[in-house]
Structure 1
């Protein structure tokens, strides 16, 4: 098979991506996405736009998740505990649901409610912008907007390592 035909096949079927995955020390992209559900912490309602620059100066954990993701059943409640523990010190969790159907994510949140902002990216552009490869994938961003840690997957016990990284970034910004 000629090389041209092989490359055409790869590009056509999406096996070759030109998206650049974020790395540690990269600047986190700015985004503006609607909230999936009401959020009293932000005094905002479902559908209101969430703007990432509003959190500049905070330590932010941007978490990409889906209702069909097994590890997300562990990560969302663990992140809710970390958010409750550190939000008064300037820590935010921002969850981005990547389900095809918004209702699937909403049904998941009924079983595993969280207090932090949950966004729904109907266009599915944000996972590509960040370079997400699997679920869940998260990016810990410092107060200046720089990616400091990337976490792929989630297991029981991961929250201990994450807690240490959050504390380090919160203390750096004091």
Structure 2
């Protein structure tokens, strides 16, 4: 029951947020999920409780994703030792497209696959990329739609805030 309430609360926030907004401040429980990772193991969001998680939804056809992902990799390298991780959820139906993308834009953080868009639907993803910043207690705190140069500065500010809590 609690998961469905959290899902409804997050969906309501996502549905009301403007797709043109760089970020929305929110504070609702992030719905749990499990997806297969690029390494072949299943990763569960709940297993990252105690860490700050940048949950990023992306696609191989997304030009802004191509710009954003190397910058996210820099943030991952800089803050991973402070209890920060990135879970990048690929929404392509064909995993080979994601692999071709990652050959050109390599990253060191975990890549997850959501070919049926079940997690994307759970989070009511409306734009590519979509990023949700999740605090150590499992609460979605910030929501970002799209990417434009400079958003990484806002990401870093939010990461710093959340790792200090």
With the shorter chain as reference, the TM-score category is 0.7 to 0.9
Task: Flag the 1:109–1:80 CA change in 2: closer, same or farther, 3 A.
Answer: same
Give TM-score, length-normalised by structure 2: 0.84
Q: Point out where structure 1 has 5 or more consecutive residues left out of the alignment.
A: 1-17, 38-44
Give TM-score, length-normalised by structure 1: 0.80
Aligned mate of 2:71, from 69, 78, 90: 78
Secondary structure of 2:163's counterpart equals helix
Aligned mate of 1:34, from 33, 36, 55: 36
1:108 is aligned to 2:101:
yes
Compare the two structures and name the one with the higher helix fraction: 2
Aligned mate of 1:87, from 76, 80, 83: 80
Please say if residues 97 and 118 of structure 1, whose CA atoms lie closer than 8 Å, have aligned partners that are also in contact: yes
Spell out structure 1 runs of 4+ moving beyond 4 A: none
Deviation per CA, 1:44-89: give whole Å up to 9, x if none: x3x2111111100000000000010010011111110000000000
Could you tell me how far apart the structure 1 residues matched to 2:71 and 2:149 are?
Answer: 9
Q: Point out where structure 2 has 5 or more consecutive residues left out of the alignment.
A: 1-7, 14-25
Compare the two structures and name the one with the higher strand fraction: 2
Rg (Cα) greater in structure: 1
Q: Which residue of 2 aligns with 1:13?
A: none
Equivalenced residues, count: 146
1:62 is aligned to 2:55:
yes
Task: Flag the 1:139–1:114 CA change in 2: closer, same or farther, 3 A.
Answer: same
